[in-house]
Structure 1
Amino acid sequence: MAGTSCDGIDAACVRIVGEGEAMKVRLVHHRHQPFARSLQRRLLAVMAPSATRTEEIAHLHVELGEAFGLAARRLIGELGRRERPSVIGLSGQTVCHYPRVRRGRTVTLQLGSPAHVAAIAGLPVIADFRQSDVAVGGQGAPLVPWTDWVLFRHPKISRAVQNIGGIGNVTWIPAGCGARQVIAFDTGPGNMVIDGLVVRISGGRRCMDRDGRMASRGRVLDSVLVRWMSLPFFRQRPPRTTGREVFGEPFVARAWRILRAASRAPEDWVATATALTARSIALAYGMFLPGFVQDRGCRESVSECSSSFPVRRRSTEIGPRSSTQIILAGGGSRNCALRRWLERLLPQASVRTVDEFGIPAEAKEAVSFAVLAAARLDGTSSNVPRVTGASVAVPLGAVYG
């Protein structure tokens, strides 16, 4: 799979025992294959909200299919004879995602030809997961809540699985709940704005704020953060999804101008973008997740969003920290500044990472689509209608090869 960060391909080999909701999942091996710079530039150009030639989209569809196929073949080669996968789950690269823009219809497009993946890797491929949900009235995202429930449900501990890739999304799994009782939605930007600013600051030499070092040295520009937190998306009720159409390059370009006018220190710019991610996550929890108390600071003021982030303690309405966990996944889970700010903004829960559960943060999304592929083979419905807005639960994906 390839995420909204558009940095490369994540491939994972997963051993699954059992069927449907009873399946047990174990990660065997994973690898990350960075995109060639030229391919990455072309993908980002296609994602920009402007006219793109259909010929270029067609070429990218095939080229990405070949890249996914080669990544799968390399992974299989690294496994040797000890493991032989039976099927490949392919997420593809989302290049546009417009939820319910015309007559309530969602438009979403993932590139990466499944037929080419099947031919190169020599295995059947299950793909078009999002289209299956869109076809029955859903937004085609988020699709991992069912797999999050399979992987992280607990009889006594409530868990919020917070992915922080290019975009942030959460799956809320109450203690002892069933798969159809989870709550999930996009929280807002994850690393997308942070990464975009770092690329501009470094002249393209760096693509991320490694470990949150720049953010840790900066101060949050309150006036800018207040402006950003007033965006309509942050008050939109679930089902809700977002992507580069809201927080991509046009947003980063505007942010670049605003931040440079407000401060001369690049560290302040990155700190403010990091605070946007942290605050939007905390705001979403307070508004839409049962039991998370939204304090005055999240609703009305962000003056507390400084580099030291002194945040008032809130009542632990959802119980002791040991009974409620936030599990961070995605590249943003490595951002120490972001994690520290989330711990202070959401003191009712203990913050952990998926690595502590045996799944490296970089592999979690690839593991999720492997689980969706297994569910498709079982004939198990794996979308959650209350999450995506679909009219009915259906098995996701189509088989190629």
Structure 2
Amino acid sequence: LISGTSVDGIDAALVDISGTDLDIKIELIAGATYPYPPELRERILAVCAGDRISMVELAQLDDAIATSFAQAAQTIQIGQPSASLIGSHGQTVYHRPPHIGEDTPLGYSLQLGRGTVIANLTGLTTVNNFRAADISVGGHGAPLVPRVDAALLSHPQYTRCIQNIGGISNVTYIPPRNSNWLTKIRAWDTGPGNSLLDLAVHHLSGGTKTYDKDGAWAASGNPCQPLITQWLQQEYFHVPPPKSTGRELFGQDYWEQCLQDTLSYQLSPADILATLTELTATSIAHSYKNFLLQMPQQVLLCGGGSRNLYLKHRLQLLLPSVPVLTTDYLGLNADFKEAIAFAVLAYWRQLSIPGNLPSATGAKLNVPLGEVYQPLER
């Protein structure tokens, strides 16, 4: 179970897992996205944008999210084999990367949707709070899925980049499976994915739309290259990995500044969306060219942004020598790849197998990820 930084809803994947460590095999039995009730989604987005709430309201929000997650877990099992374990990423509402050299150098990340509530509502053992263990040993707590990517998507000969495009975009660079290949994996958040696009669509449509289906609206406009050049001066794009980010940077305030910047160029709504799409695509390509030792032989997209045909097209133009595909190409559902990953991380947690990759998160140690909650006996 996961709801990403786009806050589109809860992605649920019912997965059959076999094997133990990197030899795992998965079969997706069912996958579905369950939208949040509109009022709950607005509350989450407001908190992510920095709205202040009381402790009473925070507790209520935590419980409401946990209840929605539990309902998603129960619904996806209807007419299907019963699950024996839940891995729930929860809903990120705050993420602060580690501050190296400061008095409190450790990072902080808050995901709402208490595991103990999910366990008791579903009657199933639940693993959640996956980021805390990595953060406790000096990591960013993000990205968390590179080790799963390595298990499911590595290749003996090909170098691959697994590019997840949710609200925030992140990449896992996987070299060919040979000597010490696991230590050569790199991963980081490349920058905005759909976060700025969705905020723009909501604003430009007068609140009637939440996203640009297939990127069709953006495709009818023209990117403003001077703005792309200006926006790429943002410090985050030039910080070397490991690094992570979130709506704290690429959120409401950032969008409002982008909107102000567009006024000098008299852009149409379609032009604004085309320019923001170009920012996402260009920041991904910029990341590869500046922080990878070599370009990949394949790029495999996943997440909601993988269905944005215009974004996919623009990224392919920026990476002309590299095929830009989706994980569907390898039989791994691009819509539910992240949800599948947290099922795997929960499975590994039960076996006390480390789930993080220090080369990706900057952590000092490999550690099992997640806290385990058992349901009360009934």
TM value normalised by structure 1: 0.89
Aligned to 2:30: 29
DSSP-derived class of the 1:340 partner? helix
Query: Any idea what the Cα deviations from partners look like across 1:236-283, whole Å, max 9, x if unmatched?
Result: 011100100110011111112222342241111000000000100000
1:244 matched to 2:247? The reply is: yes
Which stretches in structure 1 are left out of the alignment for 5+ residues?
293-317, 319-323
DSSP-derived class of the 1:366 partner? helix
Structure 2 counterparts to residues 1-400 of structure 1, below 5 A? 1-79=2-80, 83-101=81-99, 103-177=104-178, 178-292=181-295, 324-400=297-373
State how far apart, in whole Å, the 1-side matches of 2:317 and 2:307 are.
17
State how far apart, in whole Å, the 1-side matches of 2:152 and 2:291 are.
22
Deviation at 1:223? 2.2
State how far apart, in whole Å, the 2-side matches of 1:273 and 1:171 are.
23
State how far apart, in whole Å, the 1-side matches of 2:260 and 2:217 are.
19
The residue identity in structure 2 corresponding to 1:251 is: Y
DSSP-derived class of the 2:78 partner? helix
The residue identity in structure 1 corresponding to 2:202 is: V
Are the counterparts in 2 of residues 220 and 275 from structure 1 also a CA contact under 8 Å? Answer: yes
DSSP-derived class of the 2:7 partner? coil
Are the counterparts in 1 of residues 98 and 138 from structure 2 also a CA contact under 8 Å? Answer: no
Q: Percent identity?
A: 41
Which has the larger displacement, 90-99 or 376-385? Answer: 376-385
State how far apart, in whole Å, the 1-side matches of 2:137 and 2:203 are.
41
The residue identity in structure 2 corresponding to 1:358 is: G
Query: Any idea what the Cα deviations from partners look like across 1:61-118, whole Å, max 9, x if unmatched?
Result: 1111111001100111141xxx222100010000000102453220110000111111
State how far apart, in whole Å, the 2-side matches of 1:87 and 1:179 are.
27
DSSP-derived class of the 1:362 partner? coil
The residue identity in structure 2 corresponding to 1:248 is: G
Report the count of equivalent residues: 368
The residue identity in structure 2 corresponding to 1:105 is: L
Are the counterparts in 1 of residues 106 and 136 from structure 2 also a CA contact under 8 Å? Answer: no
State how far apart, in whole Å, the 2-side matches of 1:228 and 1:52 are.
32
Which stretches in structure 2 are left out of the alignment for 5+ residues?
none
Are the counterparts in 2 of residues 46 and 57 from structure 1 also a CA contact under 8 Å? Answer: no
Which has the larger displacement, 89-98 or 205-214? Answer: 205-214
Aligned to 1:304: none
State how far apart, in whole Å, the 1-side matches of 2:139 and 2:177 are.
26
Deviation at 1:179? 3.0
Are the counterparts in 2 of residues 263 and 269 from structure 1 also a CA contact under 8 Å? Answer: no
Query: Any idea what the Cα deviations from partners look like across 1:292-330, whole Å, max 9, x if unmatched?
Result: 3xxxxxxxxxxxxxxxxxxxxxxxxx6xxxxx1100001
State how far apart, in whole Å, the 2-side matches of 1:264 and 1:394 are.
49
CA RMSD of aligned residues (A): 1.3
